[in-house]
Amino acid sequence: MKTFEKFKLGDIQLNNRIVMAPLTRSRAINNVPNELMRKYYAQRATAGLIISEGTSPSPNGLGYARTPGAYSKVQIEGWRNVAEGVHENGGNIFVQLMHTGRVTSLLNLPEGSRVLAPSSITLEGEIYTDSKGFQPHDTPQEMTIADIKKVQDDYVNAAKQLVDAGVDGVELHAANGYLLEQFINPKTNVRTDEYGGDYKNRARFVPELAIRVADVIGSNKVGVRVSPYGVFNDMKGDYDDLVDIYTYMAEELGKLGIAYIHIVDQRVAMNAPDFTTNIKRTIKTVFEGNIIVGGDVDSISKSEKLLNEGYDLVYIGRPFISNPNLVEKLKNNQKLIDPNPDTFYTPGEVGYTDY
C-alpha cells in the first residue's frame, strides 16, 4: 500500500506517507516547549512527518494561551529537546511558524506587544485567555511597510534558529485565517499599497516570505500551508479571484522548489462549504511539487484514495491525539480511540500523553 511506502521529502527520508497535522494543544507553559511536549511528539514519531502545533516567530504573534514561540533562547532550546525526542524514535519534525495576526487578545501577548494585521478590521467573537476567560478579540493596528519587513525578519530568524537547533524544517502557516491568510483574503485585506488590491499584491507576502526563509535554511526545508475556500476565523470562503490568487502563489512557490504545499480541507472539521472548483488539483498541477492533502482521514482506504489520485502525502489530525500509535493501528486495521474534546487545550498530561 502506498500509505506505508517510504518517501523522500527534500533531503529527509520519511518512513511512510502519513503526516501528523499541526494541532494546537496549549501545553507550552510561559510559551516555552517543555518536557511534556517532548514526550507527546516522541510518542507519535512513527508518522512519516510531524508538523508541530502553530509556533509564533515573535511575541506579537502568540494569539492563544500557552502556545509555543520560537523567538527566545529558552524556546529554541525547548524545540531542540522536542526534535531530539522525535529523532531518537526515528521520526522527522517540521515546526509550523504561525503568526495569528488579528486572532488574539492582548491578554495572551507579553507586555508591550501589539496586535497587528494587514488592515485594521476586528475579528468578531471572543478568544480564551487564562487570566480573564473569554474576551473579545482586540482591534489590530494596520501594519506599516516597516512592520511587514519586521515580521518577515522574525520568521527568518526563527526558522534559522530552529533548523540550527536540529528541527528538520519549517512550515509557513498561510491558512485558517491567521496573519498570512489575512493578507491573501479580500475580507481582511483592504490595503491600497503594494500588499493590497489585486490578487498579485495580496499574494505578495507569502512567496516573498518563502524566498527569504529559503535563502537562509534551504528551500527543501520549507513548506507552506494554505486553506482555499476556508471560513475558519471568519474568513471569506469564496471570492472572485480565489483561483487566480492560489494559482499565482503555487506558480511562485513552485519556482523556489520548496518541500511541499499543504492544502487544508476545512469541509469536515471546520464546516466550510463545498469547493466550487477542484482547487487542490489546480494547485498540484501548477506547483509541480509535493502536495499534502487530507481532511477526515481515519482509515487506510481514505489515505489510499488520496494517494491514488496523485497526491504525495496525507495529513491526519485529531486521530493522532488519542492514538499515539496511529500508524500501527491503521496498518493492522485496529479500532481507533476517540479523543476527548474537553482536554484539547487544557494544561497537563491528561488527554495529552496518557492515552
- Give residue-wise pLDDT tens across range 68-78: 999 999 999 99
pTM: 0.98
d(CA 141, CA 153): 19
Other C-beta atoms closer than 10 Å to the C-beta of 319 total 20
Range 319-339 average pLDDT: 97
Confidence of residue 272 (pLDDT cuts 50, 70, 90): confident
Q: All 3 cell numbers of residue 99? A: 503568526
Give residue-wise pLDDT tens across range 124-151.
999 999 999 999 999 999 999 999 999 9
What's the CA dihedral at 205, 255, 313, 304 to 10 degrees?
A: 120
pLDDT, residue 159, reads 99
Other C-beta atoms closer than 10 Å to the C-beta of 304 total 15
One-letter amino acid of 294:
G
Indicate whether 274 pLDDT > 90: no
pLDDT, residue 220, reads 98
In 3D space, the residue among 229, 231, 218, 293 whose CA is nearest the CA of residue 259 turns out to be 218
pLDDT, residue 111, reads 94
Range 70-87 average pLDDT: 98
Q: Which residues are catalytic, by number?
A: 178
In 3D space, the residue among 77, 73, 154, 78 whose CA is nearest the CA of residue 114 turns out to be 154
Range 10-33 average pLDDT: 97
Range 320-328 average pLDDT: 98
pLDDT, residue 346, reads 96
pLDDT, residue 271, reads 72
**Sign of the CA dihedral running 202, 311, 258, 330:** positive
pLDDT, residue 50, reads 99
d(CA 143, CA 121): 12
pLDDT, residue 207, reads 98
pLDDT, residue 61, reads 98
What's the CA dihedral at 283, 286, 291, 296 to 10 degrees?
A: 20
Q: How far is CA 72 from the centre of its chain?
A: 20
Q: All 3 cell numbers of residue 351? A: 488527554
Confidence of residue 183 (pLDDT cuts 50, 70, 90): very high
pLDDT, residue 150, reads 98
Confidence of residue 273 (pLDDT cuts 50, 70, 90): confident
One-letter amino acid of 93:
I
- Report residue 266: phi and psi, to 5°: -90, 5
Residues whose CB falls within 8 Å of the CB of residue 127, separated by 6 or more in sequence, listed in order: 63, 64, 103, 104, 105, 108, 134, 135, 136, 137
**Per-residue exposure over 114-128, b if at least 16 CB sit within 10 Å of its own CB, e if not:** ebbbbbebebeeebb
Range 1-26 average pLDDT: 97
What average pLDDT does the structure give for the chain? 97
Indicate whether 269 pLDDT > 80: no
pLDDT, residue 279, reads 96
pLDDT, residue 175, reads 98
Confidence of residue 267 (pLDDT cuts 50, 70, 90): confident
